Amino acid sequence: MSKLKGKVALVTGGSRGIGAAIARRLAHEGANVALTYNRSADKANAVVGEIEQAGRKGLSIAADNSEASAIKAAVQKTVAEFGQLDILINNAGIFVAKPIGELTLADFEQTIDVNVRAVFVASQAAASYMGEGGRIISIGSNLAEHVPTSGLSLYSLSKSALIGFTKGLARDLGPRGITVNIVHPGSTDTDMNPASGEYSDGQRSLMAIPSYGKPDDIAGFVTWLASEESRFITGAGLTIDGGTNA
């Protein structure tokens, strides 16, 4: 229960779903945790309440991923409040699914800003504060590697961009003892992709284990990746998708 004692983490999009599960789990392992949100202030504050109940410090920060200055400010606020930053989880993301003829440039720009540019901005800002043992972990998608249906081109583009970024950043930061990795969830039961949603049966039909993952299925591995035990893993990706891409 103390793999992350003395560490400070920042989770983007920690108010709901996978990010909230990661924030809780990091705190459970001993980290003090700051989390950002865009619209869900109440939910973000509730997650902070759970972190504090676990005996750790928590902090919620309003920071829209599409505003670079807000992300930089969130990183600075985390360091100002907790004195250091050891773990960055780039989790916040949006899912815009439309066939190519219906996608607009506004869809493109919003998806790139939130899913890609924000990861660049947060990682650059966080790395400037991290020392030996630092961890940057991004949440990608199994759709970065395999696209089983139509309408996913923009989302897949945004998540596959993170694979190249992860590898390049691992090279930049490896000499400083900072690791950079990506975790690719598959169908996971959240507001973004409810297990009872319109397209859920189609997703289950693609899986080796035909049932949705839970946010904790992703959070457990991410938390281990944030620990000292993963010190020799960098520039790597792991797909956690019940065998969809198998």
- As annotated, the active-site residues are 155
Q: Does residue 222 interact with ligand NAP by CB under 6 A? A: no
Q: In this structure, which amino acid lies at residue 61?
A: I
Phi, psi of 55 (to 5 degrees): 90, 10
d(CA 3, CA 164): 29
**Binding segment toward ligand NAP, per CB under 6 A, in 26-34, 37-45, 170-178, 219-227:** 37-45
d(CA 216, CA 171): 29
> Nearer Cβ to ligand NAP, position 5 or 39?
39
Residue pointed to by tokens 């907790």: 82
Q: Does residue 239 interact with ligand NAP by CB under 6 A? A: no
d(CA 214, CA 212): 7
Choice from 190, 223, 227, 234 touching ligand NAP (CB under 6 A): 190
Q: How far is CA 85 from CA 27, 28, 114, 135, 167, in A?
A: 14, 17, 22, 9, 21
Closest approach of Cβ 142 to ligand NAP, in Å?
Answer: 6
User: Are 71 and 125 contacting, i.e. CB atoms less than 8 angstroms apart?
Assistant: yes
**Binding segment toward ligand NAP, per CB under 6 A, in 53-61, 100-108, 190-198, 219-227:** 190-198
> Nearer Cβ to ligand NAP, position 79 or 112?
112
Choice from 192, 208, 209, 246 touching ligand NAP (CB under 6 A): 192
Choice from 32, 60, 91, 181 touching ligand NAP (CB under 6 A): 91
Phi, psi of 179 (to 5 degrees): -100, 150
- Which of positions 47-66 make contact with ligand NAP (CB under 6 A)? 64-66
> Nearer Cβ to ligand NAP, position 58 or 185?
185
- Which of positions 99-158 make contact with ligand NAP (CB under 6 A)? 114, 139, 141
Largest CA distance in the chain: 51
Q: What is the DSSP letter of 188?
A: B
Chain residues binding ligand NAP by CB under 6 A are: 13, 15-19, 36-40, 43, 64-66, 91-95, 114, 139, 141, 185, 187-188, 190-193
